Structure 1
Amino acid sequence: MTTKAVKLAYRPFGLVSGIAGGLVAGAIFKQVWKRVADEDDAPDALQSEYPWRQLLLAAALQGALYAVVKAVIDRGGAKAFERWTGEWPGD
């Protein structure tokens, strides 16, 4: 398979895994935030009752968790694709 064909074949697989990764990251963040802040929901930028510090902490934590989960999902998906097809989708 050519590199272009491999990337094209991987695209639907990557899309589905990306959506799943977002859902997993959101669930993980919600659980972590409950333990860190003892609140059910993280502050939103438009909620004036939260101080800057708490808002920025929530945003940084959420961003870090999403990045880690995305990296894990992307690498795992690429490894699974390679096992099934014999081709690495990212090069």
Structure 2
Amino acid sequence: MKVLYKPFSVLFSLLGGVLAGMIFKRVWKAVGGEEEAPTPIDEDRRWREVLAAAALQGAIVAVVKAAANRGGASGVRRMTGVWPS
């Protein structure tokens, strides 16, 4: 089952990453009031801004990817009756 689930797991992770990126852009626009989040090499930004953006992005990515993978595993169990471990 683990071998069969692996391609789906990769797909869930990729889709989760894309979704997380979209969510982060919306959240940053609402919180930061700007279209683009600061990058680590943006000379005009302060450390606080860069680190806050990175922490927010990391948290969003982790939660969305975990939800996508967990949801995928639950779906596999519903379809096959076996939890992919």
Unaligned runs of at least 5 residues, structure 1: 1-5
Partner of 2:60: 65
Map of 2:32 onto structure 1? 37
Could you give the per-residue CA deviations for residues 22-60 of structure 1, whole angstroms, max 9, x where no partner exists? 000000000000010110010111111110000000000
CA distance in 2: counterparts of 1:34 and 1:28, whole angstroms: 10
Structure 1 position 21, deviation (Å): 0.3
Looking at structure 2, the residues matched to 55 and 80 of structure 1 have their Cα atoms a distance apart, in angstroms, of 37
Larger Rg: 1
Counterpart position of 1:23 = 18
Q: Give the counterpart letter for 2:61 in structure 1.
A: Y
Report the TM-score, using the length of structure 1 for normalisation: 0.91
- Aligned partner of 1:17: which letter? F
Q: Where has structure 1 moved over 3 Å in runs of 4 or more? A: none
Q: Which among 35, 42, 47 is matched to residue 47 of structure 1?
A: 42
Aligned partner of 1:75 in structure 2 is 70
Unpaired runs of at least 5, structure 2: none
Alignment counterpart, residue 13 of structure 1, candidates 8, 30, 37: 8
| DSSP-derived class of the 2:34 partner | coil
**TM-score, normalised with respect to structure 2:** 0.97
